[in-house]
Amino acid sequence: MSNQDFVQAPRDGRGTYLEKVTEAYERYQETGVIHYPEWLYGPPKGELFRVEVEDCPEFGETAELEFDSGRTAFLSIDMQQDFCGYDGYVDTMGYDLGQTRRAVEPIKEVLETVRRTEIDVVHTREGHDPQLADAPFNKLLRSKMAGDGHGIGETPPGGVGPLLTRGHENWDIIDELAPEAGEPVVDKPTKGAFGNTNIDMVLNRLGATHLVIAGITTDVCVHTIMREANDRGYWCTLLKDATGATDPGNRDAAIKSVKMQGGVFGWVSDTERFTEAVESALV
């Protein structure tokens, strides 16, 4: 991860990556804590706090992951009317909105907590330009098939605007979770965000090393972005109750897959454990 605030790791002696990995592993075995790596990022910019993460490294076990509040960003993914509102994209396809809206209240709770701290908030929003120049043919076709003839860029009967099209009410983030002044909103035409947007630049400007992730849908945009971020070296934690999907089975499987191999895409916690940790350390 490139950030001008990060400390350049030494290239010899105990400063090598493998030695630092071994050192961190041995410290974890002694304490049960995955410590903030000061050798890599420099002294904390804010306050250190710890969040319990589940099924780490084995199912049924827990660990504590240490965060620097000055290098942590809460990422709220695609909480748009098209995905969790009436007459939006998901509603048009006939899915139960209760399954995507289940994320609304937990995210609202997290926002109320972190907005009282120095933890940054970043939002994402999926949608296409009005000419659909950034929408692949096969994506448009699939959406039209799933929407009973009304796909991306078209307004369904009784709808409030063209589906997943930028600049329209149904494309925007719902009022309950609307961004506040100064909170970046990253617009993306894809399920992921790191390949087609400036999100990496935004997170680097904020100095973020650790991401706390929530939003919809768990198995699609949330999972894709978490995988992308993990591959770029961000420390990712998914708040499982603050995510929703069109299918409960897919949601559960997506959460479980994060935990495989000791946390192949990061870690999993929940809103209660995260907010309690933040409030006890920062508020």
Q: In this structure, are residues 244 and 11 in contact, taking their beta carbons and an 8 Å threshold?
A: no
Whether 221 sits among the annotated catalytic residues: the reply is yes
Q: Report the sign of the C-alpha dihedral through residues 213, 214, 216, 219, in that order.
A: positive
Q: In this structure, are residues 34 and 63 in contact, taking their beta carbons and an 8 Å threshold?
A: yes
Q: In this structure, are residues 179 and 173 in contact, taking their beta carbons and an 8 Å threshold?
A: yes
The DSSP symbol for 36 reads -
Q: In this structure, are residues 125 and 171 in contact, taking their beta carbons and an 8 Å threshold?
A: yes
Hey, what are 61's tokens? 């076990």
Q: In this structure, are residues 21 and 35 in contact, taking their beta carbons and an 8 Å threshold?
A: no
Which of 139, 188, 240, 259 is the catalytic position?
A: 188
In the chain, the amino acid numbered 248 is: P
By the 10 Å C-beta count (0-12 exposed, 13-18 middle, 19+ buried), 65 is classed as buried
In the chain, the amino acid numbered 35 is: H
Whether 187 sits among the annotated catalytic residues: the reply is no
Which of 78, 87, 200, 219 is the catalytic position?
A: 78
Q: How many CB atoms lie within 10 A of CB 189?
A: 18
Which of 56, 84, 221, 236 is the catalytic position?
A: 221
Alpha-carbon distance values, 112 to 80, 106, 269 (Å): 19, 10, 18
Q: How many CB atoms lie within 10 A of CB 246?
A: 20
Rounded to 5 degrees, φ, ψ at 73 are -125, 135
Active site members: 78, 188, 221
